Amino acid sequence: MIRPVALTIIFLFGLQALTAAAGENATPTAKLNRIRAAMANQQQKVKESGIQSFNLEQELKKIDLRLRLEGRKLRNIQQKLNRQENYLQAKEQETKLIVKQKEAIKEHVKRRLTAFFKMGGVTLVNAVFAAHSLSEAINTREEFRFMLRHDRKIIGRYRTRISLLREALNNITASKNKILETINEEKAQEQKLIDSRMKRQKLLNRVRLQKDLYEQALQEMAAGAASLEAKINKSRVPMIRARRRKITRARHSRPRHTILVSGFAAMKGRLAPPVIGKINRFFGSQNGKFGLKINFPGLDFTPAGDLKVRAVFTGKIIFAGYLAAYGNTVIIDHGQQYYTLLSGLASIYKKAGAIVKEGEVIGLAGGDGLLHKGLHFELRYGSTPIDPLPWLTGSWKATPGKDSGAAGKPATTKTLTKIKRHDH
User: Per-residue confidence of the chain (424 residues) as pLDDT tens digits?
Assistant: 444 434 444 444 445 444 454 444 445 556 556 776 777 777 787 888 889 888 988 988 889 998 889 888 888 988 988 988 888 888 888 888 888 877 887 777 777 777 766 665 545 445 455 555 556 666 766 776 777 787 778 878 878 888 888 888 888 888 878 888 888 988 898 898 899 888 889 888 878 877 777 777 667 666 666 766 776 677 667 767 777 788 777 766 655 544 457 899 999 999 999 999 999 999 988 765 555 677 889 999 999 888 999 999 999 999 999 987 788 999 999 999 999 999 999 999 999 999 999 999 999 998 877 667 789 999 999 989 999 999 999 755 444 444 443 333 333 322 322 333 333 3
The b-or-e profile of 296-308 (16+ CB within 10 A means b, else e) is bbbbbbbbeeebe
How confident is the model at residue 403, as a pLDDT? 40
Query: Which residue spans of the chain are classified as CATH 1.10.287?
Result: 1-258
Nearest to 236 by CA among 85, 94, 129, 383: 383
Q: What pLDDT shows up at residue 81?
A: 86
In this prediction, residue 399 carries a pLDDT of 41
Distance CA 339, CA 316 (A): 10
HSE-up of 62 (CA within 13 Å, CB side)?
8
Would you give the distance in Å from CA 240 to the centre of its chain?
50
Longest dimension (CA), the chain: 180
Residues of the chain with CATH 2.70.70.10: 260-424
* Cα(120)–Cα(129) distance, integer angstroms: 13
d(CA 299, CA 279): 7
**CATH number for the 1-258 domain, one of 1.10.287, 1.10.357, 2.60.40, 1.10.8?**
1.10.287
CATH of domain 260-424: 2.70.70.10
Q: What pLDDT score was predicted for residue 292?
A: 63
What amino acid is encoded at 381 in this protein? Y
CA distances from 234 to 161, 181, 380 (A): 107, 79, 15
Q: What is the pLDDT of residue 335?
A: 94
